[in-house]
Amino acid sequence: MKPLRMRREFLPFSRPSIGQEEIAEVADTLRSDWISTGPKVARFEGEFAAAVGAPAALALSSCTAAIHLALVSQGIGPGDSVITTPMTFCATVHAIEQTGARAILADIEPGTLNIDAVRVSGAIEKLIRRGQGKRLKAILPVHLYGHPCEMDSLLEIAQHHHLTVIEDAGHAMSASYDGRPVGSQRASCSVPLLTCFSFYATKSLTTGEGGMLTGSAEAVEEARLWSLHGMSRDAWKRYGTEGTWYYEVVRPGFKYNMTDLQAAIGIHQLKKQYRFLARRTEIARRYNAAFSELDCFQVPESFARGDHAWHLYVLRLRLDRLGISRNQFIEELAARNIASSVHFIPVHMQPYYRDMYGYKPEDFPVACREYQRIVSLPLYPGMSDQDVGDVINAVAGIARKHMRGRVTAGASLPETWTDRRAEARPVPDAARRMESVARRAFDVACAAVGLILVTPLFAIIAAAIKWEDGGPVLYTQMRVGKGFRPFRLFKFRTMVPDSSGSTPLAGPHDPRITRVGRLLRRTKLDEFPQLVNVLKGEMQLVGVRPQLERYVRAFSDEYGVLLQDRPGITDLASLIFRNEEQMFLPGHLDEQYVTRILPKKLQLSLKYCRARTFLSDLGIIFRTVLGFKSPAQD
């Protein structure tokens, strides 16, 4: 075992990522006429609503304020009840309590630790049997740690029982569900839907303190009346150039407004979210790769329809395989100069709620059990690669020291690129060698026959490309192949000449795509020249799609498995993501691809790789040729 390298300085659990842009904007605000709620708050609200796809947004003093206003503005008060999760920070339930309503807790899923829709239904049925169903007004799901809840089921329940849905997205800035950012509005949603964000110091987007409420224009305007003493006009509307001094108090409101000083920070934090998310995701991926090698740990779980914001990285200890408790584990991390924490002590185990409502730990067994084995590790954009490596080595070192039974090899710093390339050269046994030869013979035969049959079509496509702009017919680019060996990929050119740069990514309305190219991309005819790559032995018919080197480096563990074989023209992920271009939102396509799309494709490719057969390959080829799209699989 390598000696453990001890950190000289203490690594904090979280650290805000503030740059010169934020500092300059705050200084500009201090030199202006407005330091409280004014023009920069209005600008921040507008830009935030656009970023998350919400009709309207209201900037506030905290996420707690946003939850409280969402409840009050929807008429929820004394005698009412709201269903929420026990696995959350106390502020979620405090806000319900402050309205005079009662929080009805529903236990969590054992996988994501988010509120369980099945248990929500059970809690509602219990209220109805007790004759209390009419007082139930809302469901308040918490997107815990940055992983979105299974919203379709919760919205269906809410629609059936005519309930409001208020999302606690304090952890979920940059998370998305089914490709839609958390906080966006669904056209098909027939119930009030409001979302509450947190900008506390540890959050991905921070304003020091602060929050945001999003929802329909009507719902946000009603909340706005409550947000500043119930006044019909705030100071900006009263003292601005076109304002008037007169106002009326129309609600018994609160003092929940955000200041321009806070908004000045938020304006620039918002612009950095894609970069922050990319770094958080990269760190989480390194953690997952290292800790999944040790069977005393359970790494965070997710489902295919949810894109994780990675606000927190919560590792679960398998205490039956360790000789220490969770608390001792945290103490040993601190002794190695690594900060950590626990998120959260379940609400029903907190003295106030325990004593007020007579809760017992076993009332919500999943939350109680999982709480006893969770540890939150440092995760923030400013962590260096060395910081991440120090966390991995410290966690792995504690595991090796206290592991009961055999320790799985690995869980040190990730291997170098050269190490991964060497590792990816397996030595197959005789049966696998025979299977590989047979598969290769089939691929060569199909590619040869295919090229002969489609030669007339090739000529038509080539003529159309030439006729449109006179540029080259083929587009080539270096990709990573079997054993991490580079090769040149062939495709029909679909963009204007010399425009694709270093990335093949394109959004749904990319102006670089030609008219002929748009047709070729829609029908996937641009991929046909890769039959030549198959004949050359660089590709196969069915296999993971070949990628640029930078993507392979980012997902070296996944590709270390997948590129033990040749990449392919099509596979399960290619069918499910057949219309991949339509998934991109305005913004940085490369970061969206790395954080939202490629991880899901690799998950599907790995799943198929483990279970593939010759017959299943035939099915993939058949569906590809006929243009079928496989149903999404969670």
Annotated catalytic residues are 203
Q: Which residues touch 74 (CB under 8 Å, ≥6 apart)?
A: 137, 138, 164, 166, 192, 194, 219
The answer to whether 480 touches 549, Cβ cutoff 8 Å, is yes
Whole-angstrom distance, CA of residue 51 vs CA of residue 121: 33
How would you classify residue 53: left for phi > 0, otherwise alpha for psi between -120 and 50, otherwise beta? left
The answer to whether 503 touches 548, Cβ cutoff 8 Å, is yes
Whole-angstrom distance, CA of residue 619 vs CA of residue 615: 6
Q: Among candidates 277, 289, 293, 316, which has minimal Cα distance to 389? A: 289
The answer to whether 497 touches 471, Cβ cutoff 8 Å, is yes
Whole-angstrom distance, CA of residue 175 vs CA of residue 148: 7
Whole-angstrom distance, CA of residue 505 vs CA of residue 6: 42
How many angstroms separate the Cα of 137 from the Cα of each of 287, 420, 494?
40, 54, 53
Q: Among candidates 297, 292, 318, 291, which has minimal Cα distance to 392? A: 291
Q: Which residue type is seen at 152? A: D
Orientation angle between helical segments 455-469 and 515-523, nearest 10 degrees? 150
Angle, CA of 155, 158 and 164, to the nearest 5° = 100
**E-only strand ranges, 511-619:** 540-542, 568-570
| 498 CB neighbour count, 10 Å cutoff | 9
> Which DSSP string do the residues of 314-353 spell out, in sequence order?
EEEE-GGGBSS-HHHHHHHHHHTTB--B-S---GGGSHHH
Angle, CA of 60, 221 and 78, to the nearest 5° = 80
The answer to whether 404 touches 321, Cβ cutoff 8 Å, is yes
Q: Which residues touch 619 (CB under 8 Å, ≥6 apart)?
A: none
Eight-class DSSP state of 116: P
Whole-angstrom distance, CA of residue 213 vs CA of residue 390: 38
Whole-angstrom distance, CA of residue 266 vs CA of residue 284: 24
Q: Among candidates 176, 424, 191, which has minimal Cα distance to 302? A: 176
Whole-angstrom distance, CA of residue 534 vs CA of residue 127: 62
> Which DSSP string do the residues of 156-185 spell out, in sequence order?
HHHHHHT-EEEEEETT-TT-EETTEETTPP
Residues facing 169 on adjacent strands? 197
Long-range contacts, 411-415 (Cβ 8 Å, 24+): 411/290, 411/291, 411/293, 411/294, 412/2, 412/290, 413/290, 413/389, 414/286, 414/289, 414/290, 414/556, 414/557, 415/556
Q: Which residue type is seen at 507? A: G
